[in-house]
Amino acid sequence: MTHLLDYLADRVLLCDGAMGTQAQARNFDIEHDFCGHENCTEILNEGRPDFVREVHAAYLRAGADAVQTNSFGGSPITLGEFGIADKAFALNRRAAELAREAVAEFAGDGRTRFVFGSVGPGTRLPSLGHVPYQDLEDALAVQCAGLVAGEVDAILIETCQDPLQVKAAVNGAKRAREEAGRDIPIIVQVTVETTGTLLVGADIAAAATVIHALDVPVLGLNCATGPREMAEHVKWLGDNWPGHISVQPNAGLPELIDGRTQYPLTPRELAQWLERFVLEDGVNIIGGCCGTEAAHIAALNEMLRRIGRAKEKNGRPRPLPKKRAPVWVPSVASLYGQVPLRQENAYLSIGERCNANGSRAFRRLQEAGDWDGCVEMGREQVKEGSHTLDVCTAFVGRDEVAEMCEVVGRMRGAVNAPLVIDSTEYPVLDAALKLYGGKPIINSINFEDGEEAADKRLRLAKRFGTAVIALTIDEQGMAKDADGKLRIAERLHDFACNRHGLPPSDLLFDPLTFTICTGNADDRRLGLNTLDAIAAIREKMPECQIILGLSNISFGLNPPARQVLNSVFLQHALDRGLTGAIVHFSKILPLHRIPEE
Ligand code: THG
């Protein structure tokens, strides 16, 4: 059997068209067809298997290489709204079997055909607080297990409106395929509304950043609009996304004509747009969503054959998409937008003030339970120029998990900068990541008590798709000289990147600064050691990031002196290769504003 990703290496794959709008166009009998569950499309797998098989067959006759199972609303949570949550596994398995049966009917011609297991977004979005992350992941794992049991060739997580829901679905799919011991690729398709963002507000770059960190090999767009409105986002994917790209538009923007929803795009028009996406943007999975029918898929098939023949004259036997040279920029993301980890002509600024230990003002708001005030401090830092925000609620005698959840639960919707989750406690990191739909940074890991703690945190980082700050601390304690810092950094790199598969660009070393203001002459060397370590790490591991908790350097001095020392030290560190810093951004002075003396 051909693996989907091998197939995609040199071909455009044609998917089918809509299932849902086809089902809605029929007058099904509520008792017989819907088994008493009116408008539950998935129950048709039991009540009207002939209809489902016939929709698949019609698309296969039209030339589709892949059909998508009738399981869009098949999670136990969505089926639970019809009181049939317990049927989820069976309905999804049946959906996959019906698609397989339809494909088997066409086996005679020797063509490779695929069954994609459709997983829709459901009716409850975790970033909007409609459902807890873990409940959603567990539900989607059941749905995916049913699809896998019915032998799908890929899991298609589609019509995604919330990046946190994508994480739950991808992790549910990974669980299902691991339990079955099968290598089944995952495809994610997001839905960009006419507003230019997903429903929860994520733009395509933010969504792609989150999905990339989940190691998903195929990303695309479907639903909400026709191809015209998708063009800009398709181009973004073509220019940036390093994997395969899938595009399945509606047949145009729906129009209400005589009280009925109509989709205006003709098969020819749809084919013209998708031809452009294949030839200009390098898209290699195409198909249709709402309002597309067999005639649309037939037109797409004809278009692919035509451009395939044109290529054949140049010695290329198959319809090849444009060869792309995408440039993927390693980034983190909030729920709304992407922030490159390596800033051009600047450093990645991490606001230090939303920290119970780093700001009296923040601690007072936290003690008073003034969570909106805490969020406001975050917003102020972003206004001042912070690219990301460090958040720490560790405060003796208080519930760090509960208070981290209060802050992250509010900041995720109110702050347009990615969060840096600052905690030594695993349950705090775990709880924060289950609330956050962006791609955050975990602050931090180290080898203080050996590798176990770091191992657990890196598994969390990979599961939720985060970047990671790694401190140069090992079983012997904090390294104080440059050689020691470099040695631990190399061990951290091997551990995080080689053992756990973290991309080097998502690893942020923190070679640690200590105060040089103790009055002890030996301690003054420590700052220089840190600068030497930055240069050595940058030289040895140029793809990784290097950051510092800058203000540590000046503990013990008065505030005006701290401002000067912090600013001067930052400049030296940047000159040696630092790429980011935890700072009070507005207090950093440009060097020309600091008097020579
Ligand atoms: N590395 C990493 N994470 C870190 C640190 C680090 N997180 C915490 C800390 N160190 C970085 N954050 C701060 C925040 C505030 C201050 C210093 C470091 C600070 N605050 C003033 C003070 O305490 O005097 C302001 C107090 C106030 O406003 O009330 O100096 O090194 N990875």
Closest Cα to atom 16, ligand 1: which residue? 358
Tokens of 154: 């890929």
**Distance, CA of 446 to CA of 509 (rounded, Å):** 10
Are 253 and 225 contacting, i.e. CB atoms less than 8 angstroms apart?
Answer: yes
**Closest among 40, 6, 46, 11 to 23, alpha carbons compared:** 40
At 316 the pLDDT is: 44
Its sign, for the CA torsion 560, 583, 527, 449, is positive
At 10 the pLDDT is: 85
Closest Cα to atom 19, ligand 1: which residue? 358
**Closest among 194, 266, 192, 222 to 68, alpha carbons compared:** 222
Percent of the chain clearing pLDDT 90 (strictly above): 92
**Distance, CA of 128 to CA of 139 (rounded, Å):** 18
Predicted confidence (pLDDT) at residue 319 exceeds the cutoff of 80:
no
**Closest among 160, 118, 146 to 20, alpha carbons compared:** 118
pLDDT digits (tens, 9 = 90+) for 194-210: 999 999 999 999 999 99
Tokens of 60: 């296969």
Distance 549 CA to ligand 1 centre (A): 7
pLDDT digits (tens, 9 = 90+) for 394-420: 999 999 999 999 999 999 999 999 999
Pocket test for ligand 1, best of 390, 444, 466, 517 (most atoms within 8 A of CB): 390
Distance 236 CA to ligand 1 centre (A): 38
In 10 A of CB 166, how many CB atoms? Answer: 27
Interior CA angle at 290 toward 287 and 296, to 5°?
45
Residue 522 pLDDT class (50, 70, 90 cuts):
confident
Distance 402 CA to ligand 1 centre (A): 22
Residue 1 pLDDT class (50, 70, 90 cuts):
confident
Residue 368 pLDDT class (50, 70, 90 cuts):
very high
Residue 128 pLDDT class (50, 70, 90 cuts):
very high
Predicted confidence (pLDDT) at residue 317 exceeds the cutoff of 80:
no
Distance 128 CA to ligand 1 centre (A): 31
Closest Cα to atom 21, ligand 1: which residue? 358
Are 288 and 300 contacting, i.e. CB atoms less than 8 angstroms apart?
Answer: yes
Pocket test for ligand 1, best of 551, 567, 587, 588 (most atoms within 8 A of CB): 551
At 2 the pLDDT is: 86
Closest Cα to atom 5, ligand 1: which residue? 549
Closest Cα to atom 9, ligand 1: which residue? 549
**Distance, CA of 186 to CA of 452 (rounded, Å):** 30
User: Which atom of ligand 1 is the closest one to the Cα of 355?
Assistant: 14
**Closest among 59, 52, 58, 53 to 286, alpha carbons compared:** 59
Cross-strand partners of 583: 351
3-state secondary structure of 2: coil
Pocket of ligand 1 (CB under 6 A): 352, 355, 358-361, 390, 422, 443-444, 469, 510, 549, 551-552, 582
Give CA 362 to chain center in angstroms. 30
**Distance, CA of 26 to CA of 293 (rounded, Å):** 14
Predicted confidence (pLDDT) at residue 25 exceeds the cutoff of 70:
yes
Tokens of 451: 């590798």
**Distance, CA of 307 to CA of 311 (rounded, Å):** 6
Its sign, for the CA torsion 320, 326, 330, 331, is negative
Are 475 and 499 contacting, i.e. CB atoms less than 8 angstroms apart?
Answer: no
Mean pLDDT to the nearest integer, 253-259: 91
Mean pLDDT to the nearest integer, 310-338: 79
Residue 315 pLDDT class (50, 70, 90 cuts):
very low
pLDDT digits (tens, 9 = 90+) for 161-188: 999 999 999 999 999 999 999 999 999 9
Q: Mean pLDDT, the chain, as a whole number?
A: 96
Give CA 20 to chain center in angstroms. 26
Distance 56 CA to ligand 1 centre (A): 60
